[in-house]
Structure 1
Amino acid sequence: MRTTRTVGLAAALALVLGGTLAACGDDNAQNPTTSQASSTQHNDADITFATEMIPHHAQALTMVEMMGGRPVDPAVEKLAGDIRDAQTPEIETMTQWLTQWGEKVPQTGQDHGHNDMGGMGGMGDDQAAPGMMSDADMKELQQAPDAQFQDMWLEMMIKHHQGAIAMAKAEIENGQYQPAVDLAKQIVASQSEEISTMQDMLSN
């Protein structure tokens, strides 16, 4: 069955990032007590987690956007939608953290539009976060024939998820900011399940 999905990722991410930055205003008015220090204090591991996971998630959303107009199985299309729905608000959350901490929010490249998908290779092939696709990988996926696209997409997304899990486990081990550690645990659980689902899809 042929299905089509039009995913307005560029607009969605623009709203997410813009809305978050506007909403971060007065955080000092709600400082918890010292007994809740784990919910307010952060360390370098927390900054690294958010700074690297934002473009990592954004690349996954670009891969979801590439599915628009492709003949994919309904189950694969649904999985892509689930990834979009989970990772878009996670980008919002991590953007808010970095803003509150006075840290730079990384550029995601989502404002480049459909014709610059390859730019989502991210931090450069030598410094990319685990599981990030290179510019060449993204171009190959974008240009893949319909007959090859679905399996290539699943294989790349499995690798991408495996990288996110590695990053999340590092945050669980080394992070101090409890909300970030909690998000990392959620990423490990949800993306491990999605990897299993995608592996089943490839074997069927």
Structure 2
Amino acid sequence: MIRKRSLMRRTAVVAAAGAAALVLAACGGSGGDDGSAGHGGHAATAPSSAPSSSASASASASASASQGQHNAADVAFAKGMIPHHRQAVEMADLAPGRARSAEVKKLAADIKKAQDPEIRTLSGWLTSWGEDVPAEGAMDHSSHDMGGMMTAEEMTGLENASGKAFDTAFTELMIKHHEGAVEMARTEQADGAHGPARKMAGEIIDSQSAEIEQMNALLGKD
């Protein structure tokens, strides 16, 4: 009897061990499934990062295209502002030897310092766009809506003036010249497509409007 019970216990232990082995095997299979699912989840996230990178590259390309695009208004602005600026520099070059007022001399120097680099920038844009840069001395006063340009007679009169007469003539003519440049710049801001050109137009409006106020003050018109 005792021997029979011992045999039964041994059989139960073996059965329990077998059941435990089955549970462990089942858990092992489940772990494999989880690992597979986890890898699948990782694989699913990998493509999601690719569109993000692609979108970033696309946005960069779009920004680059926007920076480089231009239209007819940009070309007209550059072709008109180059000779306009050149004439302002030519007028400013007369001041050191003819002006009496220190304020007029400084104003002329500031005008040249600001507009010389802008001429180079505008010329560079035209070249990059495959457009002709206006030739030196090409002063078609009626083209490109170049308001405020001096006539040949006005330039000759300025060249022949000196002292207080030069100061007054220079200031009056430069006010008119600046007003024309401001109008051209406003047209560029309204109609242009090239970001840097529209930015330059804004700078011209700000700087030359301030100089107009300064010159009006010199003339006692403030």
Range into which the TM-score falls when normalised by the shorter chain:
0.7 to 0.9
Q: Quick check: 2:92–2:112 contact (8 Å CA) kept in 1?
A: yes
Identity of matched residues, %: 43
Question: Match of 1:191?
Answer: 208
**Mapped contact 2:189–2:202 kept (Cα < 8 A):** yes
**Residue 93 of structure 1: aligned partner:** 121
Deviation at 1:75, TM superposition (A): 1.5
* Larger relative contact order (CA 8 Å, sep ≥ 6): 1
Q: Which of structures 1 and 2 has the bigger CA Rg?
A: 2
Where does structure 1 differ by over 6 angstroms across 4 or more consecutive aligned residues? none
Aligned to 2:170: 153
Asked if the contact 1:169–1:184 (Cα under 8 Å) also holds between the matched residues in 2, the reply is: yes
Structure 2: runs of 5 or more not aligned: 1-59
Which residue in 2 is equivalent to 1:39?
67
Given that 2:99 and 2:105 are in contact with CA atoms closer than 8 Å, whether structure 1 keeps it comes out as no
Distance 1:34 1:157, change over 3 A: same
Structure 1 unmatched runs, 5+: 1-31, 110-119
State the secondary structure of the residue aligned to 1:72: coil
Give me the whole-angstrom Cα distance separating, in 2, the residues matched to 1:133 and 1:38: 36
Whether contact under 8 Å (2:101, 2:164) holds in the other structure is no
- TM-score for the superposition, normalised by structure 1: 0.75
More helix per residue: 1 or 2? Answer: 2
* Cα distance between partner residues in 2 of 1:154 and 1:87: 17
TM-score when scaled to structure 2? 0.69
The CA distance in 2 between the partners of 1:72 and 1:104, in whole Å, is 39
Do the aligned residues in 1 keep the contact of 2:189 with 2:198 (CA within 8 Å)? yes
Q: CA deviation at 1:145?
A: 4.3
Preserved CA contact (<8 Å) 1:54 1:108: no
CA contact (8 A) 2:99 2:162 kept: no
- 1:25 alignment counterpart: none
Tell me how many residue pairs correspond in the alignment. 161
